[in-house]
Amino acid sequence: MTDELKEMGCSCHNHPPCSFCMALTEEEATILWNGTMDDLRAYWRKQPEPPLETEDTDTMVKIGGQSFRCHCTCNVFRKVKTNHSKYVCNACGEVYKGE
């Protein structure tokens, strides 16, 4: 959070800044201070999600005995370590949920 925000209070309250504004990074606080909450939401939507941690082995998924292909035509996937019912395409990173 910027020193200016700390001195002036947050954009939604006067002194002291609220816990929401105190948790913002300096860049996020500047966006909120100079714009609106919608600007901050748009900034958050643009941030890439961290990649999912996958197992080290490749898997070919079959559905009804047929090889499944991603929309990018790849048919090789990796299981997500934290959720074994999800698979990540090796080529494009698209996530699929297994049943």
Q: Where are the domains of the chain?
A: 3-46, 62-97
Q: CB under 8 Å to 51, separation ≥6 — which residues?
A: 93
The pLDDT tens digits along the chain (99 residues) read 455 555 555 555 556 667 777 778 888 888 887 888 888 888 888 877 667 788 888 989 888 889 999 988 899 999 988 888 899 999 888 889 887
